[in-house]
Amino acid sequence: MSRVTANIFRKYLSPFGVTNSQLTLLFILAKRDGLSQKQLSEIAVLEKSSLHRNLIRLVDAGLVAKEAFPLIKITDEGKSLVNEVIPEWRKAMDEIKSKLEGEGLLALDTLTDKLLS
């Protein structure tokens, strides 16, 4: 299920040049800017080293800035991107939800049955 949903997100997000994880971080910063890596990693449920490396890519892309180190801030460019992406992100969520619901209320049960029957 992780792979299926990640594939759907990727399909909708790739035109924007951001990955699934990167967008999650941008969403968090767009809502509450100026977090430490520690805080970000807790909110995103992302190991601190993984977060660290994601940030490198976001800074390289100019979507996030470490100027106020140790605080992490989203740039104006990052904010614009978030706003542009949201409609496509919603489409991805809709596709995921219909896929999950289409296969029974809790797709996990179905998967369990299929795997362990």
Partner DNA sequence: CGCATTGGGTTGTATATACAACTAACAATG
Partner DNA sequence: CATTGTTAGTTGTATATACAACCCAATGCG
Contact residues: DNA, CB under 7 A: 2-3, 6-7, 10-11, 19-22, 36-38, 41, 45-50, 52-55, 57, 70
Q: Quick check: 104 and 23 in contact, CB under 8 A?
A: no
CB of 31 to DNA, least distance (A): 18
Q: Quick check: 13 and 89 in contact, CB under 8 A?
A: yes
Residue 98 identity (one-letter amino acid): S
Given the complex with a copy of itself, which of 32 and 69 has the nearer CB atom? Answer: 32
The Cα–Cα gap between 71 and 98 comes to 38
Q: Which spans of this chain sit near a copy of itself (rule: CB under 8 A)?
A: 2-7, 24, 27-28, 31, 45-46, 86, 93, 96-97, 100, 105-106, 108, 112, 115-117
Q: Closest Cα to residue 63, out of 32, 92, 54?
A: 54
The Cα–Cα gap between 24 and 114 comes to 31
97 contact choice in DNA, a copy of itself, none (CB below 5 to 8 Å, kind-dependent): a copy of itself
CB of 104 to DNA, least distance (A): 22
5 contact choice in a copy of itself, DNA, none (CB below 5 to 8 Å, kind-dependent): a copy of itself
C-beta atoms surrounding 37 within 10 Å: 18
